[in-house]
Structure 1
Amino acid sequence: MSKIPILKALDKDTWVKPYLKRYKWPLMLAIFLGFCTFFSAGALMFNSGYLISKSASLPENILLVYVPIVLTRAFGVSRPVFRYIERLTSHNWVLKMTSKLRRKLYHTLEKDAMVFKQKYRMGDILGLLAEDIQYIQNLYLRTVFPLIIAIILYVFIVVAIGFFSIFFALYIALLLFILVLVLPIWSVVINGARQEKEKSLKSALYTDLTDNVLGVADWIFSQRGIEYVDTHLQVEHELSIVQDQKRLFNRRVHVLFQLIYSFVVIGLIVWTSQQFVGNHGRAANWIAAFVLSAFPIVDAFVVLPEAMQESNVYKDSIERLNALDDGEESQPISMKPTDMTICSENLSFRYDQQLVLDQLDLTIAPGEKLAILGKSGSGKSTLASLIRGDLKPQNGLLTLGGVPTYQFGDEISHYISVIQQAPYLFHTTIFNNVRMANTDKTEEEVWEVLERVGLKKLVEQLPEGLHTMVDEAGLRFSGGERHRMALARILLQDTPIVLLDEPTVGLDPLTEQALIDTFFSQLKNKTVIWITHHLQGIEIMDRVIFIEDGRLEMSGTPSDLAQTNERFKQLKAIDEGRVI
Structure 2
Amino acid sequence: MFKIPLFQSLKHDQWVKPFLHHYKRVLYLALFLGFMTFFCAGALMFTSGYLISRSASLPENILMIYIPIVLTRAFGIGRPVFRYVERLTSHNWVLKMTSKLRLQLYNTLEKDAIFFKRTYRMGDILGLLAEDINHIQNLYLRTIFPTIIAWVLYCFVVIGLGFVSLWFALMMLVLFLGLVVVFPLVSVLRNGARQEREKQVKNALYVDLTDNVMGVSDWIFSQRSQEYVDTYLANEQELYDVQNELRQFNRRRNFLFQLYIGLMAVSLILWTSQRFVGNHGGAANWIAAFVLSLFPLIDAFAVLPDAAQETNVYKDSLDRLNALNGKDQPEPKKVMVDSTDIHLSDVSFHYENETKVVLNQLNLTIPQGQHVAILGRSGSGKSTLATLIRGDLTPTAGSLTLGGVLTSSFGDQMAQYIGVIQQTPYLFHTTILNNLRIGNEDASVEEVWHVLERVGLKELVQRLPDGLQTMVDEAGLRFSGGERHRMALARILLQDTPIVLLDEPTVGLDPITEQALIETFFDELAEKTVIWVTHHLQGIDQMERVIFIEDGQIELSGSPAELAATNARYQRLKAIDEGR
TM range (shorter): over 0.9
Give the corresponding residue for 1:15. Answer: 15
Partners of 1:8 and 1:183 lie apart in 2 by 23
Q: CA deviation at 1:426?
A: 1.6
| CA deviation map 1:262-303 (0-9, x unaligned) | 121111112112212159942331011111111111101111
Residue 232 of structure 2 corresponds to residue 232 of structure 1: yes
Partners of 1:358 and 1:401 lie apart in 2 by 23
Native 8 Å contact 1:357 1:379 kept in 2:
yes
Give the corresponding residue for 2:572. Answer: 570
Residue 366 of structure 2 corresponds to residue 364 of structure 1: yes
Partners of 2:339 and 2:310 lie apart in 1 by 56
Give the corresponding residue for 1:254. Answer: 254
Aligned 1:309-324 pairs, distance under 5 A:
309-324=309-324
Aligned 1:158-173 pairs, distance under 5 A:
158-173=158-173
Give the corresponding residue for 1:277. Answer: 277
Give the corresponding residue for 2:103. Answer: 103
| CA deviation map 1:411-458 (0-9, x unaligned) | 221211111111111222222222332233333322222121111222
SS at match of 1:372: strand
Give the corresponding residue for 1:65. Answer: 65
Partners of 1:369 and 1:236 lie apart in 2 by 41
Partners of 2:491 and 2:260 lie apart in 1 by 72
Native 8 Å contact 2:115 2:392 kept in 1:
no
Partners of 1:5 and 1:438 lie apart in 2 by 50
- Closer, same or farther: CA 123–381 of 1 in aligned 2, 3 Å: same
- Closer, same or farther: CA 111–436 of 1 in aligned 2, 3 Å: closer
Partners of 1:33 and 1:464 lie apart in 2 by 60
Give the corresponding residue for 2:264. Answer: 264
- Closer, same or farther: CA 147–88 of 1 in aligned 2, 3 Å: same
Give the corresponding residue for 1:397. Answer: 399
Count of aligned positions = 578
Partners of 2:527 and 2:127 lie apart in 1 by 42
Q: CA deviation at 1:226?
A: 0.6
Deviates more, 1:165-174 or 1:11-20: 11-20
Give the corresponding residue for 2:25. Answer: 25
SS at match of 1:437: coil
SS at match of 1:53: helix
Structure 1 unaligned spans of 5+ = none
| CA deviation map 1:347-398 (0-9, x unaligned) | 1221132211112111111111111111111111111112112222222221
Partners of 2:145 and 2:77 lie apart in 1 by 23
- Closer, same or farther: CA 104–467 of 1 in aligned 2, 3 Å: closer
Q: Identity over aligned residues, as a percent?
A: 68
Give the corresponding residue for 2:461. Answer: 459
Partners of 1:470 and 1:110 lie apart in 2 by 25
Native 8 Å contact 1:420 1:500 kept in 2:
yes
| CA deviation map 1:436-495 (0-9, x unaligned) | 322333333222221211112222222222222221111111111111111111112211
Deviates more, 1:552-561 or 1:430-439: 430-439
SS at match of 1:454: coil
Partners of 1:154 and 1:426 lie apart in 2 by 58
SS at match of 2:442: coil
Q: CA deviation at 1:34?
A: 0.9
Amino acid at match of 2:294: A
Among 387, 390, 396, the alignment partner of 1:388 is 390
| CA deviation map 1:289-337 (0-9, x unaligned) | 1111111111011111112111111111111112222534142120201
Partners of 1:550 and 1:453 lie apart in 2 by 35
Native 8 Å contact 1:115 1:329 kept in 2:
yes
Native 8 Å contact 2:154 2:176 kept in 1:
yes
Partners of 2:148 and 2:512 lie apart in 1 by 67
Native 8 Å contact 2:45 2:292 kept in 1:
yes
- Closer, same or farther: CA 215–544 of 1 in aligned 2, 3 Å: same
Structure 2 unaligned spans of 5+ = none
Q: CA deviation at 1:506?
A: 0.5
Give the corresponding residue for 2:542. Answer: 540
TM-score by length of 1: 0.96
Partners of 1:38 and 1:279 lie apart in 2 by 31
Native 8 Å contact 1:115 1:330 kept in 2:
no
Aligned 1:332-481 pairs, distance under 5 A:
332-352=332-352, 353=354, 354-481=356-483
Partners of 2:280 and 2:164 lie apart in 1 by 18
Partners of 1:324 and 1:157 lie apart in 2 by 44
Q: CA deviation at 1:548?
A: 1.4
Give the corresponding residue for 1:134. Answer: 134
SS at match of 1:65: helix
Give the corresponding residue for 2:198. Answer: 198
Partners of 1:416 and 1:3 lie apart in 2 by 49
Native 8 Å contact 2:143 2:304 kept in 1:
yes
Partners of 1:170 and 1:397 lie apart in 2 by 70
- Closer, same or farther: CA 162–279 of 1 in aligned 2, 3 Å: farther
Among 514, 519, 542, the alignment partner of 2:521 is 519
Deviates more, 1:197-206 or 1:498-507: 197-206
Native 8 Å contact 1:339 1:401 kept in 2:
yes
Q: CA deviation at 1:118?
A: 2.1
Partners of 2:172 and 2:301 lie apart in 1 by 14
SS at match of 2:324: helix
Deviates more, 1:233-242 or 1:494-503: 233-242
Aligned 1:290-305 pairs, distance under 5 A:
290-305=290-305
Q: CA deviation at 1:529?
A: 0.8
Native 8 Å contact 1:117 1:391 kept in 2:
yes
Q: Could you say what the CA RMSD is over the residues aligned between the two structures, in angstroms?
A: 1.7
Partners of 1:153 and 1:317 lie apart in 2 by 29
Q: CA deviation at 1:64?
A: 2.1
Residue 234 of structure 2 corresponds to residue 217 of structure 1: no
Partners of 1:427 and 1:89 lie apart in 2 by 38
Q: CA deviation at 1:22?
A: 2.6
Native 8 Å contact 2:143 2:307 kept in 1:
yes
Give the corresponding residue for 1:487. Answer: 489
SS at match of 1:503: coil
Native 8 Å contact 2:2 2:308 kept in 1:
no
Amino acid at match of 1:499: L
Q: CA deviation at 1:24?
A: 2.3
- Closer, same or farther: CA 464–512 of 1 in aligned 2, 3 Å: same
